[in-house]
Amino acid sequence: MPFSYQVLERSSDSAARLGRLQTRHGTVNTPVFMPVGTQATVKTLTPDELIRAGAEIILSNTYHLYLRPGTDVIAAAGGLHQFMGWDRPILTDSGGFQVFSLGDLRKISEDGVEFRSHLDGSRHFIGPEDAVRIQMDLGADIIMAFDECAPYPAEREYVKRSKDMTSRWADRCRKAHTRTDQAMFGIIQGGMFHDLRRESAEEITAMGFPGYAVGGLSVGEPKPLMYEILDELVPHMPKDKPRYLMGVGSPDALVEGVLRGIDMFDCVLPTRIARHGTVLTRTGRFSIRDLPYARDFQPIEEGCGCYTCQRHSRAYIRHLLKAKEMLGYRLTTIHNIHCLLALMADVREAIRQDRIAQFCQQFFAEYAG
């Protein structure tokens, strides 16, 4: 069996759980944060550096890879793992979210989405079957059904139609998927409407996917609203399948998601803010470009085990960023990725010891956003 998920421990005072994904490229311990490698590279880093930072699985983007270098190139390389030199598990999104984010450049119909490339304006069409075919060619271990992610805010009527179509598309994706060495996850939509979320969960889980994602959150709504939807939705998701909250990666939201029974997360946040000079710590974040760090020869975070904190000072990193030196972006990226992965490792240990509620209480006592 190429893909399986097993719950190892359940928290006694929350929905948090410890689990393990088995894929043909190895094991992933959950709850897990997946760094994002949009264009077949987690920006600035080598695969070796990702491993050193503790990454067990990464996410890559179907839309971007389809446009450049092209699915055919990656297939000719023997698949995405081979192409980018990463031999641990990969999850690809369906391209849906990116395509919908194109705004005026795309047109949605029951068949799929017609859009213009953000690179050269060329015309393309991706429907559910295309998204699956592309993802089969890319060869990730986990692939995603093609969905429509409704914007926030959105009218109930729009969200309902979108949710219904997402369910029909999920069914078409399921039927188009023939690779037995990949797991396809279904995506639950329904915006901020409890009943639509419940309906979506029923429709999608009825199709019997090996895992389920919550899409359409972290799209601009206040965080308490996201947590409310999770409180409502997660109990309607299968207990024996992995649950993936898409596009979420701030430390506080990771912890809140784990407490509500989420097993997988992905987000560009740690890599994106790193390139703007913002570094994460266990207690919040700060901009290392600020003047006070010019002569601060401490590491970014005292006690951090990452490569950056072992070797380089805030003052040096600030200098590199001010001088627009690429090494600066690398060092902040390494730290931010490590920071989230170390948080998740601590979260897993706390679940294993059944003290996750206590862990979270302490985390939030120290966390200042």
Chain residues binding a second copy by CB under 8 A are 39-41, 43-48, 68-69, 73, 76-77, 83-85, 294-295, 297, 311-313, 315-316, 318-320, 322-323, 325-327, 329-330
Closer of 83 and 185 to a second copy (Cβ): 83
> How far apart are the C-alpha atoms of 306 and 310, rounded to whole Å?
6
What minimum distance in Å lies between the beta carbon of 28 and a second copy? 22
Residues known to be catalytic: 93, 266
- Go through 261-279 and write b for each residue having 16 or more CB atoms within 10 A of its CB, e for each that does not: bbbbbbbbbbbebbbebbb
Closer of 1 and 119 to a second copy (Cβ): 119
What minimum distance in Å lies between the beta carbon of 266 and a second copy? 18
Residues 294/323, Cβ–Cβ less than 8 Å: no
Closest CA to 93 of 147, 57, 41: 147
Closer of 205 and 313 to a second copy (Cβ): 313
> How far apart are the C-alpha atoms of 215 and 190, rounded to whole Å?
9
Closer of 76 and 368 to a second copy (Cβ): 76
Residues 199/190, Cβ–Cβ less than 8 Å: yes
Strand ranges of the sheet holding 17-23, from the earlier edge strand across to the other edge: 4-10, 17-23, 26-30
Alpha carbon separation from 113 to 63, 105, 126, 131, 146 (Å, rounded) = 12, 10, 5, 10, 10
What minimum distance in Å lies between the beta carbon of 291 and a second copy? 11
What minimum distance in Å lies between the beta carbon of 88 and a second copy? 14
Closer of 197 and 314 to a second copy (Cβ): 314
Q: Is the dihedral angle over the CA atoms 284, 288, 291, 293 positive or is it negative?
A: positive
Distance of alpha carbon 366 from the chain centroid: 25
Closer of 74 and 254 to a second copy (Cβ): 74
What minimum distance in Å lies between the beta carbon of 328 and a second copy? 8
> How far apart are the C-alpha atoms of 26 and 81, rounded to whole Å?
12
Q: Is the dihedral angle over the CA atoms 338, 343, 346, 348 positive or is it negative?
A: negative
What minimum distance in Å lies between the beta carbon of 332 and a second copy? 12
> How far apart are the C-alpha atoms of 347 and 173, rounded to whole Å?
34
